[in-house]
Amino acid sequence: MADFQTSTHRAKWIFTPSDLFEKREAANLRARKMLEQYGSTRLEVDVDGSISYPEPLQDPKDSAAKPLNCEEEQLMRVFYEQKIQEVCGAFKFPHKIQGTAIIYFKRFYLQWSVMEHHPKHIMLTCIYASCKIEENHVSAEELGKGIQQDHQVILNNEMVVLQSLGFDLIVYAPYRSIEGFIEDMEEFVQGRDAVKIKLKELREAANFEVDKAMLTDAPLLFPPGQVMLFCRSFSFIGIGAQVFSFLDAYESRKLQFSSVIVLSKLDMI
């Protein structure tokens, strides 16, 4: 897998706050204009990725629908990002699938408004695509059946999701950075069970903090390593401090023991 520094994630999908605002504002404005013209904003998507627009209204006043503003769209996106976490948890998918699916979802709605494509359908399609790219394949039928949804919706939206992502499917979520850090720590402690238990708790605490961060714009604003460090700092407040306190005590005792051996040898000279 490509390194983050040379990835499309770094080159094309890290933004400034003003970038995000402009993209979302543009998508919202387009949906508003569509509502005025067609009386509806919902687009029909075929399995080949082609999009069908509704028929224009003869009289725009015939539409009773009211558009969402950007703040309301944000609330809907966060709601369905939480649903991604719930669905992935129900299927017991690894964190990397959940992270990839949420990043896909966030990227998709930089191009579109939630008024144009129903977030429930896009949510399921992002999970399906994430399972594919992370080599944890689950069929659309199995995914749809597991949450009592029509699997054809997933297949119909797959191509439009991939197109909206620019086919940039390799993403880097903070969970991978956490795993790397914990693995390094486990290698360092060399089988000390008490510390390994604390490291397991630290992993769970860090993942919990990342879960919360994934519901914000952080994955679109910062590299995954920075998001991980920020989340890890919170998890370190409790469990992490205990880990390093234990390690300090262990190393201190080992140093004292070594000093006693050296002194005893000096006494023998």
> Is the sign of the CA dihedral 144, 149, 150, 154 positive or negative?
negative
pLDDT in tens, 200-248: 777 888 888 888 999 999 999 998 888 877 776 655 555 445 555 544 5
pLDDT in tens, 93-116: 988 999 999 999 999 999 999 999
Structural domains for the chain: 4-164 (1.10.472.10), 174-268 (no CATH)
Over residues 82-86, mean pLDDT: 95
pTM of the predicted protein model: 0.81
Q: How confident is the model at residue 54 (pLDDT cuts 50, 70, 90)?
A: low
Residue type, 55: E
Return mean pLDDT, the chain: 80
pLDDT in tens, 161-203: 999 999 999 999 888 877 777 777 777 766 667 777 777 777 8
Q: What percent of the chain has pLDDT over 90?
A: 41
CB 206 within 8 A of CB 232: yes
- Asked whether residue 29 carries a pLDDT value surpassing 80, the answer given is yes
